[in-house]
């Protein structure tokens, strides 16, 4: 296979960065196709921890071309900080290693200010955004008020548009949200300064990706967030502001339709979500606290504690369907060691009705009561395992059961945090 997408099958934070990093060794090009720096991928390479928010995970491999596609919204200040941090650690060196779409939209400080003021105003009814301005940036894109990196080429015109936006956003911040306006003069000066550093990275990434596909290059598409946070397919309104499913590869990544060879879904061996919204298998109390602590379940971008739940096979089957998944990578199996029994949600009860698929109407999900299948647990560390045969028998049975319930092969199993702590059963670039 030559073109592969990696997408989350839950509410994000499934460990996509680690799997992308592993697959990037076999890829020529790694493309980020949606989202912004509200998503963060945590990787551990040779004992060293990296948190990537905008730069694709391929940056940690020599010679790979990293592409930030047109479907993304990019905070240029955050992007430059990330580039500087990587180069300081001797990564992302060499001309042409990073390419940023002319058509990607720019996240500005006024987007962040609006995002945070709205959440504060909503109080207990807040959606639970990261406050990084992603939603307001996509709003501007859809209302045709957004600023794209292409606009930076003509500073005079860009400045006029920016001044117009600052005036309008400050009026909204003060009059409607009762929040502090941003310093427009400081923003214009800072943007003028960063412009010279950003322009060399700009590229017609759609043409670049299409040509790479025609040339038979191996292209890896890196998704952010997860299926259940997709603006159309997720638990609306408790979702992100972009399409996270595999079909977004075509609009946001530049690959011509019909040329995606495989979609690999990523799922934890349990489930997590950040922020508000329905979570049928949520675990409360001491067990939830234990799994959160053992799994380091705190947001990479925000530090917020994640909500914890059992693996939900109903949602997993839904993710398999809407993404057309070729296989599933299960991460963090090691976190479940010492838990007995382990549970898997195999269906829901909504009132007196049983559902083995997501019930029609997303509001019903908030009323769904999980139906669990219990399996015996296992003990001991899994970090040294290199094959399924080296796992405890009950851990193997658990993985096998997940494959049966989701209806797709289990391609990889994560047994630790480091890059090499992954049992690879199928590699889409090699199989």
pLDDT of residue 373: 98
Select from 6, 1, 2 the least CA-distant residue to 249: 6
pLDDT of residue 44: 77
pLDDT truncated to tens, each residue of the chain (431 aa)? 999 999 999 999 999 988 998 999 999 999 999 999 987 777 777 778 888 899 998 899 989 999 999 999 999 999 999 999 999 999 988 888 999 999 999 999 999 999 999 988 877 767 767 789 999 999 999 999 999 999 999 999 999 999 999 999 999 999 999 999 999 999 999 999 999 999 999 999 999 999 999 999 999 999 999 999 999 999 999 999 999 999 999 999 999 999 999 999 999 999 999 988 999 999 999 999 999 999 999 876 667 899 999 999 999 999 999 999 999 999 999 999 999 999 999 999 999 999 999 998 778 999 999 999 999 999 988 988 999 999 999 999 999 999 999 999 999 999 998 878 999 999 999 98
Cα–Cα dist 173/113, whole Å: 8
Q: Which domains does the chain have, with CATH numbers?
A: 3-101+202-262 (3.40.440.10), 105-198 (1.10.300.10), 267-424 (3.90.170.10)
Q: What is the 3-state secondary structure (H, E, C) of 235-261?
A: CCCCCCCCCCCCCHHHHHHCCCCCCCC
Q: Is the peptide bond prior to 121 cis by the omega test (within 30 degrees of 0)?
A: no
pLDDT of residue 173: 96
Cα–Cα dist 428/32, whole Å: 18
Cα–Cα dist 354/154, whole Å: 59
pLDDT of residue 226: 96
pLDDT of residue 312: 98
Confirm whether 105 is a catalytic residue.
no
Instruction: Give CA 369 to chain center in angstroms.
Output: 27
Cα–Cα dist 204/312, whole Å: 40
Task: List the Cα angle 295/321/365 in 5-degree steps.
Answer: 65
pLDDT of residue 47: 76
Select from 1, 9, 25, 43 the least CA-distant residue to 410: 9
User: From the candidates 21, 28, 41, 75, which is the catalytic residue?
Assistant: 41
pLDDT of residue 353: 95
Alpha helical stretches, state H, 25-125:
76-88, 109-122
Cα–Cα dist 116/354, whole Å: 39
Confirm whether 284 is a catalytic residue.
no
Cα–Cα dist 368/349, whole Å: 6
pLDDT of residue 49: 84
Q: How far is CA 397 from CA 375, 378, 380, 388, in A?
A: 8, 10, 16, 10
Q: How far is CA 394 from CA 337, 376, 397, in A?
A: 10, 6, 5
pLDDT of residue 301: 64
């Amino acid at each position: 296979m030559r073109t592969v997408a990696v997408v989350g099958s839950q509410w994000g934070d499934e460990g996509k960065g680690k799997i992308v990093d592993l697959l990037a060794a076999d890829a020529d090009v790694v493309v980020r196709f949606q989202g912004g720096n509200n998503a963060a991928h945590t990787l551990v390479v040779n004992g060293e921890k990296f948190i990537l928010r905008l730069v694709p995970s391929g940056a940690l491999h020599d010679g790979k071309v990293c592409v930030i596609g047109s479907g993304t919204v990019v905070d240029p200040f955050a992007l430059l900080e990330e580039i500087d941090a990587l180069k300081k650690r001797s990564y992302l060196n060499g001309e042409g290693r990073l390419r940023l779409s002319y058509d990607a939209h720019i996240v500005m400080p006024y987007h962040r200010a609006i995002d945070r003021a709205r959440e504060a105003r909503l109080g207990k009814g807040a959606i639970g955004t990261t406050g990084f301005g992603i939603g307001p940036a996509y709003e501007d894109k859809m209302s045709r008020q957004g600023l794209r990196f292409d606009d930076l080429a003509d500073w005079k015109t860009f400045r006029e548009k920016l001044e117009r936006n600052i005036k309008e956003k400050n009026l909204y911040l003060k009059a409607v949200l009762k929040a502090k306006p941003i310093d427009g003069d400081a923003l214009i000066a800072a943007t003028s300064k960063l412009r010279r550093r950003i322009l060399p990275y700009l590229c017609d990434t759609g043409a670049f990706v299409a040509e790479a596909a025609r040339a038979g290059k191996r292209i890896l598409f890196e998704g952010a967030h997860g299926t259940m946070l997709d603006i159309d397919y997720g638990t609306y309104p408790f979702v992100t502001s972009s399409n996270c499913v595999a079909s977004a590869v075509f609009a946001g990544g530049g690959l011509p339709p019909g040329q995606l060879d495989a979609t690999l879904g990523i799922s934890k061996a349990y489930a997590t979500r950040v922020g508000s919204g329905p979570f049928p298998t949520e675990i409360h109390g001491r067990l939830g606290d234990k799994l959160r602590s053992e799994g380091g379940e705190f947001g990479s971008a925000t530090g917020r504690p994640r909500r914890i739940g059992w693996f939900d096979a109903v949602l997993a089957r839904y993710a398999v369907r809407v993404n057309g998944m070729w296989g599933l990578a299960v991460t963090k199996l090691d976190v479940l060691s010492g838990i007995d029994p382990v549970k898997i949600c195999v269906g829901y009860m909504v009132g007196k009705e049983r559902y083995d698929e997501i019930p029609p109407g997303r509001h019903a999900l908030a009323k769904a009561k999980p139906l669990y299948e219990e399996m015996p647990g296992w003990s001991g560390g899994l970090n040294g395992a290199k094959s399924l045969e080296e796992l405890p028998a009950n851990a193997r049975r658990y993985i096998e059961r997940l494959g049966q319930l989701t209806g797709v092969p289990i391609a990889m199993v994560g047994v630790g945090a480091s890059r090499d702590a992954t049992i690879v059963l199928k590699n889409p670039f090699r199989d």
